[in-house]
Amino acid sequence: MEQWKIDAKRMRFKEDKPISVIVEYLHKEYFPDMATYKVKEKLRSFIRHTPEYKASKATEQSDTVRSTIEYKADGSTVSTRVIELAEGQEMTPEVIVKAHGLDPTMWTVVSYVNNFWNAQQKGGRKLIMYQSKLTVKPNAKGLSFENIDKLYSRLDRTAKPIPVSYVPRPDGLIAEVNIADLHIGKLAWNGDTGNNFDYKIARAMFNQVINEISD
């Protein structure tokens, strides 16, 4: 490859120089006897045939493709968009659902169709782009074990036991009182029920019973 082409590629794709700056440089260093507009035409003709230019245009083109989501009366959802997969990557339903930005644990795949769109090099690997149409329905199983685990991981598992003083009883007898239902969630007002009741009263009564028995 000629040196001017090497310099032009470096300045355009690695240094992101504008065309006007590259033209000025090439005119001065390589084509001093050529009219500026001809240098510009020569540069553009070369740049547009480089793999780097074609890849950048493919990316721009894929970014402008409209993504649509359609919700149907039967509960299904149809997603249409350009997806990007690595060359050789297995196209499982889970992979396709993720590529459409959906959670695979929440959706069941009804059908999908992928049409080849373009290919480009990025980060040392070849990426294949597809125009993809995916039809899914909400997962009939509801919550997944993964989602349940995430929910419970946020719960406060710490418990502060209430200290209870122990008095030994030498008579050999024990009283076991089963207080199973505290009704902590109940709320009552004296004007309606004749008594006030809430979780604070329930807690105080529970502790009082325990203390009376332990004494």
The one-character DSSP state at 30 is T
pLDDT band at 156 (very low <50, low <70, confident <90, very high): confident
Stretch 17-22: mean pLDDT: 90
Per the model's pLDDT, the better-predicted residue between 191 and 145 turns out to be 191
How wide is the angle at C-alpha 42 spanned by C-alphas 36 and 45, nearest 5°? Answer: 140
| DSSP three-state, residue 200 | helix
Q: Which residue has the higher pLDDT, 176 or 4?
A: 4
Q: Which two tokens stand for residue 147?
A: 């989602």
Report the share of the chain in percent with pLDDT over 90: 18
Residue with the bigger pLDDT between 141 and 165: it is: 165
Are the C-beta atoms of 142 and 154 separated by less than 8 Å? no
Higher-confidence position of 141 and 194:
194
Per-residue pLDDT tens digits for 59-82: 665 555 568 889 998 889 999 988
Residue 10 contacts by C-beta under 8 Å, 6 or more apart in sequence? none
Distance CA 17, CA 40 (A): 14
Q: How far is 34 from 10, CA to CA, in rounded Å?
A: 22
Cα-only R_g, the chain = 36
Evaluate the CA torsion angle 141, 144, 145, 147 in order and state its sign: negative
